[in-house]
Amino acid sequence: MRPCSASGAADPRALIALLAVCGALGPVATNLFLPALPLIREQFAVTVAATQTTVSSFLVAYAFATLFTGPIAERFGRRPTILSGAAIFTMGSALCALASSLPALIAGRVVQALGAAATLTGSRTVVADVFSDQMLPRMIATLTMTMVIATVLTPWAGGYIAAAFGWKAGFWMLLLAGTLLLVVALRRLPETRPGAGAGHRIVAILLRSRRALAEREFVVTLCQASAIYAIFLVLIAYAPYLMRDVYGGALADVGRYYILMSLGYFVGNWLISRGRIKADVRKVLRIALLIQLLGALASLAVALAPPGRPIWLFAPLLPMAFGQGLALPHLSARAVSPAPGFAGLASSLLGFAQQATAAAAVQGMGFARTDTAVPVMLFCVAVSGLAMLALLFTPRSRAARLA
């Protein structure tokens, strides 16, 4: 581990726990909110596509914000970036909780996204600052695994909260969470940025961005990571409609199946974080992406059959998520490791690619039918197949350097 510049980071476990909370703000803000989407559609008397705008607007704002938060973290420091993000997120949560119309809710979601983007970019950058290349995939997996615990529980809790107290209650909880994070970060978060200088000028950062995007392996990595993230986001955004329109279930039931999907993702991350996977990185990615594709194909087969119990559709998503949990830490480490001293920039490009792709996918799927699971499972199969094909464009030399 590389030392950082504050005593508050003396305990790596405490630092990882704090960074996990910073990185989890965006996923938690989305997952806690998703089970309430049918209620929002009913209250404002709008279409599914219009309701999905509350999700896609968050993702679009999140995506574009990451393009700026990385360079800001390089130029002004990790700590100010994360603290400002937590404050903005808290303000956005208050706007959502007080919203009386769909446009007002969308505006609040955009503000939320701006803050969450800063905390996520900042947390990834601190990890890249502090941990060596050999430990980086394991620490990213640990960070993600800790985040998954929260994101697994929030959809389950969100269904019950929305059913019992209405869709605004979740935003009041997010306001409280953002406030608590801000207080703790003020006391415990260190500054880990390498020494400032000419390399941290905005022009130099932008030139580095152009060079990174000219590297084929970096672009392929962004595409694969974005594909995995888009599949996961589409599934959790689509699940409430499937539960209600196909299976006639209650909103609270959705959380159980979120837990099932996230369990597979958690186990995959756990194996990486513990160093249990010793194979060559290229081989790990090939196996992980194949598992993702097979899981999607199995769920598509169920979707094409007459509707039965929802467990038959969601059960194959557990191994699919397991493959995602194996692949994503290595892809994230591959994205940020080529940019020593510019980890914030690499994190920005990764975050933008993931969020922009997911936003387009979620909004596009908002026009698909919700009385059958076939469209969403066709999407998962197609995107999983593209992620597999992308392996053909990754040079073996790059995989060897990461092994």
Q: What is the pLDDT of residues 53-62, one digit of tens each?
A: 888 888 889 8
Classify residue 12 as exposed, middle or buried by CB count within 10 Å of its CB (0-12, 13-18, 19+).
middle
CB-based contacts of 127, cutoff 8 Å, min separation 6 = 16, 19, 136, 139, 140, 143
| pLDDT digit string, tens, across residues 9-24 | 457 778 888 888 898 8
* DSSP classification of residue 279: S
CB-based contacts of 340, cutoff 8 Å, min separation 6 = none
pLDDT of residue 283: 84
Amino acid letter, residue 80: P
Residue 152's pLDDT band, with cuts at 50, 70 and 90, is low
Closest CA to 350 of 88, 77, 62, 150: 62
Average pLDDT over residues 311-335: 84
Report yes or no: 68 and 81 within 8 Å, Cβ to Cβ.
no
Q: Between 251-273 and 136-165, two packed helices, what is the crossing angle to 10 degrees?
A: 170
| pLDDT digit string, tens, across residues 111-127 | 999 999 999 888 888 88
Average pLDDT over residues 315-330: 86
pLDDT of residue 8: 42
Which of 83-97, 208-222, 311-325 is least confident?
208-222
> Between 5 and 28, where is the model more confident?
28
| pLDDT digit string, tens, across residues 211-245 | 666 677 778 888 898 999 899 888 877 887 787 78
Amino acid letter, residue 22: C
pLDDT of residue 36: 83
Average pLDDT over residues 353-366: 83
pLDDT of residue 192: 80
Average pLDDT, the chain: 80
Cα(228)–Cα(37) distance, integer angstroms: 23
Average pLDDT over residues 104-109: 94
pLDDT of residue 366: 79
Residue 275's pLDDT band, with cuts at 50, 70 and 90, is low
Residue 206's pLDDT band, with cuts at 50, 70 and 90, is low
Residue 75's pLDDT band, with cuts at 50, 70 and 90, is confident
> Between 382 and 73, where is the model more confident?
382
pLDDT of residue 175: 94
Cα(225)–Cα(202) distance, integer angstroms: 26
Cα–Cα distances in angstroms (integers) from residue 36 to residues 115, 164, 191, in the given order: 22, 11, 38
Residue 207's pLDDT band, with cuts at 50, 70 and 90, is low
Average pLDDT over residues 332-345: 63
Kindly tell me if the per-residue pLDDT of 103 is higher than 80: yes
pLDDT of residue 210: 63
Average pLDDT over residues 168-181: 92
> Between 89 and 275, where is the model more confident?
89
User: Residue 250, SS3?
Assistant: coil
Residue 199's pLDDT band, with cuts at 50, 70 and 90, is very low
Alpha-carbon torsion (30, 219, 393, 135), positive or negative = negative
Residue 276's pLDDT band, with cuts at 50, 70 and 90, is low
Average pLDDT over residues 365-392: 89
pLDDT of residue 402: 34
Kindly tell me if the per-residue pLDDT of 110 is higher than 70: yes
